[in-house]
Amino acid sequence: MNARSGGAPLLSVRDLRVWFDTDQGVARAVDGVSFDVLEGETLGIVGESGCGKTVTSLSLLGLLPRPPARVLDDSSIRFRGEELVGASARRLRRLRGNDIAMIFQEPMSSLNPVYPIGDQIGEALRLHRGLDRRAARQETIRLLDEVGIAGAAQRVDDHPHQLSGGMRQRVMIAMALSCAPELLIADEPTTALDVTVQAQILELLASLQAARSMAVLLITHDLGVVAEVCDRVAVMYAGQIVETGTVQEIFGDPRHPYTRGLLDSLPRVDDPGHRLKPIPGTVPPPTHWPDGCRFRDRCPLAAPPCAAPQALLDLGPEGRAARCWRAP
């Protein structure tokens, strides 16, 4: 919420292509994605399942198994100016945790069930910050307290199964924060949680971000969550970014028909009983993106110019853009 405009971006992704070799052919899961994350801001990447948002986030830290994944040669991921595509495994390991941390949808699968949570956070502190056992335990308790776990001094010895879903996500956040990262990648961090617990976690993330002036890259399918917490938004469809803008621009003045379609699909609290306007059809499989505009088959405004591939057209300052010839 305190984006500093100007200055070099913290993270700069250019023309990222991540393809998968599958039995059905080449799946172009991420197909030419470019965006920046500025210091201290929250950028949301939003889209439906299969749009490539999670593959984008995993590829940033080299977390995709290769093969089957391939990051194409012209792709560039720069963090503080340093190129990460092609960086050594050792270098990426050092960045993960120290400078860039990540939390996932399902904290249970990211925690080791047989060790107390304190040991797991402590391990990160000893490896990345070189603390001894005693100091690591102290710091772990402080972190658990910071993420709002009551009775942190006792909870530190709990095993993951003894915690609720919301508490586990707090533990994951504590672990992510342990090395004071400059960028937190949060991939559907509240999707598995109930709405009252989701509100707690979103509030926690916002307050931690403000206190630590950390940038957040939020990956989500939930437009409500985007509207609540993001500064800027990138909407993805079929492996590409189709629209970018500030959160106010995306929700108040959507320029791409897909963005408009997503917003029209939502029930509106101020007008219950109005008929929803769904987007017809379904997302095509990533092995068979349509030629030209990839949204063309589902678009109510499709016309002959849509048969040509669409470029992301600049619509204004500070990264306002849409991938539609009608948008300007």
- Is residue 5 within the footprint of other proteins (CB under 8 A)? no
**Residue with Cβ nearer other proteins (151 or 305):** 151
Task: Determine if 316 is a binding residue for other proteins (CB under 8 A).
Answer: no
Q: Does 251 bind other proteins (CB under 8 A)?
A: yes
Among 16, 171, 279, 321, binds other proteins (CB under 8 A): 279
Q: Does 266 bind other proteins (CB under 8 A)?
A: yes
Residues 6 or more apart whose Cβ sits within 8 Å of residue 50 = 283, 285, 286
User: In this complex, which beta carbon is closest to other proteins, that of residue 111 or of residue 247?
Assistant: 247
Question: Sign of the CA dihedral 183, 84, 312, 237?
Answer: negative
The answer to the question of residue 74 lying near other proteins (CB under 8 A) is no
Roughly what angle, to the nearest 10 degrees, separates helices 165-177 and 133-146? 120
Q: Are 140 and 122 in contact (CB under 8 A)?
A: yes
Tell me whether residue 72 or residue 263 sits nearer to other proteins (CB atom).
Answer: 263
Strands 11-22, 25-37: parallel, antiparallel or unpaired by DSSP? antiparallel
Residue 146-185 contact track with other proteins, rule CB under 8 A, x = bound? ------------------xxxx------------------
Give how far the C-alpha of residue 31 lies from the chain's centroid of Cα atoms, to the nearest Å: 17
Q: How far is the CB of 45 from other proteins (least distance, A)?
A: 15
Applying CB under 8 A, which part among 11-19, 57-65, 68-76, 265-273 lies near other proteins? 265-273
Concatenated DSSP letters of 97-160: HHTEEEE-S-HHHHS-TTS-HHHHHHHHHHHHH---HHHHHHHHHHHHHHTT-TTHHHHTT--G
User: At 114, which amino acid appears?
Assistant: V
Is there binding between residue 108 and other proteins (CB under 8 A)?
no
In the complex, what is the shortest distance from the CB of residue 264 to other proteins, in angstroms, rounded to a whole number?
Answer: 8
Instruction: Check if the beta carbon of residue 219 is closer than 8 Å to that of residue 206.
Output: no
Residue 108 or 227: the one with the smaller Cβ distance to other proteins is: 227
Q: Does position 197 bind other proteins by CB under 8 A?
A: yes
Among 106, 200, 212, 313, binds other proteins (CB under 8 A): 200
- Judged by CB under 8 A, the stretch of 68-76, 79-87, 112-120, 192-200 that binds other proteins is 192-200
To other proteins, the closest distance from the beta carbon of 281 in angstroms equals 9
Whichever of 125 and 235 has its CB closer to other proteins, that residue is 235
Q: Are 214 and 184 in contact (CB under 8 A)?
A: yes
Cα-Cα-Cα-Cα dihedral sign, residues 103, 109, 110, 115: positive
Q: Mark 208-237 with x for binding to other proteins (rule: CB under 8 A) and - for no binding.
A: -------------xxxxxxxx-x-------
- Binders of other proteins among residues 43 to 62 (CB under 8 A) are 48-49
Nearest-approach distance from CB 23 to other proteins, in angstroms:
15
Cis peptide before 68 (omega within 30 of 0): yes
Please tell me the count of residues contacting other proteins according to CB under 8 A.
47
Q: Which two tokens stand for residue 36?
A: 């920046």
* Smallest separation, CB 176 to other proteins (Å): 21
Looking at the chain, list the stretches that DSSP marks H as alpha helix, in order from N- to C-terminal side. Answer: 53-60, 89-98, 107-110, 117-129, 133-146, 152-155, 165-177, 195-212, 223-229, 247-252, 257-264
- Residues that bind other proteins in the complex, under the rule CB under 8 A: 48-49, 164-167, 194-200, 202-203, 221-228, 230, 247-248, 251-252, 261-269, 272-273, 275-280, 282-283
